[in-house]
Structure 1
Amino acid sequence: MLTRRLMLATGLAALAMPAMAEEPPIFATNRLAIQGYDPVAYFNQGKPVEGSEAHQLMWMGATWRFSSAANREAFERNPQRFAPQYGGYCAYAASQGYVAATDPSAFTVHEGKLYLNYSRRVRGIWEQDIPGHISSADANWPKPLKN
């Protein structure tokens, strides 16, 4: 578990509060998964790329946007391959047993999977032990959605 000092230093103190109600399975801001960024672009361009309203679809209760029809079609064929782990919630938070929002620019592609974090600072903590944090998050998930 995070120490109080680490939580304050990383800006996560407010996020450590348990959710008051069940969270949706996909983190979405204004119903947009990944704040409208293209999940496929993380894999084929190696960076966050804004999606377009012209190339969007509904999946798991959220709207997903893509930068091209080809990326949308790739996602449609295999959404599990491209969707961020832990429903797009902060992967580090999931490893600690809670949910937190994410910043599309705070990402890691590790062993063919997309992980998002609350901020670039939190991504730095995540990167110190990616396999360990994944193991913890996998063991916790999806329990944090129900806090």
Structure 2
Amino acid sequence: MKRLAFAAAAALSFALPAFAGEQYVDGTGYAVSGYDVVAYRSLEMNPPGTPQTAPVRGNAAYTAEYNGATWAFSSAENRDTFAANPAYYAPQYDGHCAYGVSKGGKVPANPNLWRIVDDKLYLNITDVVVGFWEADIPGNITLAEGNWPGIEPKAASDSVIPKFTSEGPVAN
């Protein structure tokens, strides 16, 4: 009976989105450095080992609040789409580096280093880390999912993203 209860609890925990802690917000003042998280879903995703398509910058005129952060979007339509189901569009692990979470910590993530896996958006910190992440994406997700409950309550990273500059969303 205990095994059945444990299996049910484990299944439910993996069914829930890996999102609920303090959102990572960099110096731009926006979640995901002001990039439009809805737009990622329409971008061509390149195969592992090759750089991803550049994300779409948000516009300061189209914002929404979620998880204690301001999110910017490239259009009112994308903002409204996000508002209808923000947990679906927001990156996993509150916008922290997925590989970092798989290793047990919260570090910032670069919005240019992204991948959608099983309909979830994952971000990483550097191109070198992307190589480690892509060497075993399913294994790293399993590790991250196991680590996340223990590190999720900790404060969001306050570090800057290495080798990344962003002016945030475009102004009106």
Deviation at 1:142, TM superposition (A): 3.6
Deviation at 1:144, TM superposition (A): 2.2
Query: Runs ≥4 in structure 1, deviation > 3 angstroms?
Result: none
State the AA in 2 paired with 1:120.
D
Q: In the alignment, is the contact (CA less than 8 A) between 1:105 and 1:120 conserved in 2?
A: no
TM-score by length of 2: 0.68
Counterpart mapping for 1:65-76 below 5 A: 65-76=72-83
* Structure with more relative contact order (C-alpha pairs < 8 Å, separation 6 or more): 2
Q: Which has the higher strand share?
A: 1
Matched pairs, number: 124
Could you say which residue in structure 1 is the equivalent of 2:97? Answer: 90
Give me the TM-score of the superposition, normalised by structure 1: 0.79
Could you say which structure has the higher helix fraction?
Answer: 1
Matches for 1:1-147 after TM superposition, within 5 Å: 25-30=22-27, 31-46=29-44, 47=53, 48-145=55-152, 146=154
RMSD: 1.4
Gapped regions of structure 2 (runs ≥ 5): 1-20, 45-52, 156-172
**Deviation per residue, 1:44-87 (Å, 9 max, x gap):** 23441100111101111111000111111111111111100000
State the percentage of identical aligned residues: 44
Contiguous gaps of at least 5 residues in structure 1: 1-23
Q: Distance in 2 between matches of 1:52 and 1:25?
A: 23
